[in-house]
A and B are shown apart, each in its own frame.
Chain A
């Protein structure tokens, strides 16, 4: 108990609180700017932490991390351009709501869902970290493969217009992710002998091109006046009754996010897609998804922010960072002499508890700071459209190049932007492209690793473990469900058409 009180004391110093406010606010802004995401934000702030004590520096970095994951939703909703890849799934329903004039409601749900997901995952982290970590260890390559297959199925759901077009884009994204070094043998693939391509196509330049740049192109080539105005950003929190009505959606999204976040090598973008796919099957308002349904925003935002808390589970319980961002946090800990590992919880209990307290304060700070941050975006988007769009292009390119410092990424972003523009004109959905790009590497390496482990026997995947079998059964059910629903819908359509035809009076 003394340890916990001391830890609370550590977290409530003025330095730590100031770091939280600055970090969270900067994180929201950085996350909201297309191209600049969590990794860039942390890279900017990491050098500042060298002179601070452990708790203050972790407070700053956690603030930036959680803030940026939330901030990505603001531009996703306002201008159909996710500020970070983690918020790509927020555009599905966020932007349609904006087009219907429900910006305030959409931003309100995004903010509340982010807060809810963040806090729930903190609670899970505090009370169930060891158990969840133990469970995550059972998630080997074959289980991850099954999970990623399940997530891939959400392409089917979001390709509402044409499944074929959705699959084409999904495969394109998947193909993009195979360029560069082979994850198992290290050999170069699809580089056409150019050395610059051997590092592969990074996710950020592709996302920036697919969403931000193509959006700019679409707006500039449109003669439609409506496309050139950005609605005023306002925020209206959902009422208690609305929250009660959608509580189950919030809880489901947060649990999916917390769970996926605890697994190594998946991350917040994948969590959001998985959660959205789940909402498509389970939400009572699923028929409206994709047309401006708050449940879609809740699915995406509650799960991606839930990852922020649970990503610390493997980091703190096992010393294994779940993604790039927690790897950077681990780096910051090492600088201050704390080496994460299996004994961290015992050796550094006070620091770990202080970290939990910081995580919760950050989520509260995020809720409080959402209003002024959105106010800032409102002000920014009131500028002449040329400046807004020019700014988006500028930040997109800075973001694209600053992740790896590779000038090739500028070219990749520009070319993806042009490709995405052509695809959009042809009515192809772009989200599957990003899904393919996000999930492709995980799918490929987990499959090939699984084959190495099972010594080439794919059939043994299905019986490898209880978890794997369960996941594969779920995939089977999902497929049967989708096909049956499709057939029934088709038959119903044929029946009504026939009815309409027979009911038509013969006038000639």
Chain B
């Protein structure tokens, strides 16, 4: 317990909000316990990835007695493993680009104009976010087979557009509505053409929103597996699906599974580090 108290000290600084002095300690301890609760399962996975299978199955050890990188070495030297990472990152990047390129003009239209059926269209878009991926699994398989996209990263990228585009439009609309319309009008009077205005003046003003929308597209495309697995077999198989390979006749290869899992956490951690200052507002989807 003393470790978590020490951690509370490190984590917590005097808050601007008024907090009773006696309650402050309790809340620091609570936060520390929450962070500990978040950290322990991840620690256990990383810990397991550094052990040999013999050590994993022969008893409980709180840290690896003989740390080994063998599990990671196997992943990085076997192309059927590391190509999974490349596939995943390819369709995630494709999806983020497609979603943002399509959502930017649409969000601009929603934030700046009234037009026939605008409200209905907006809610229809959002309703796609509410469709369970399980519903789409079967028709997607047939649709993408029919158009010859099956087992390509593009198929997964397009499939993920169903939930990412509505979200991107929603976020960007929130950020764009925060930019006063007078700016558009002034630019038009100053003789800027629309594309010129959009790229040179408007985009820098909503750069934070674009980052946040991109972050969310990355996030939901990276974590989704049901559709990604349904739409791929060999060539575009995501890493998260490759992980199921660790079940073999000789039983579970826990160390390898843990190493593969640990590696899937890293891209997310890197992305979070870059956007950490915008996370809080971003999670409120630009609406605070």
Asked if A and B are interacting partners, one says no
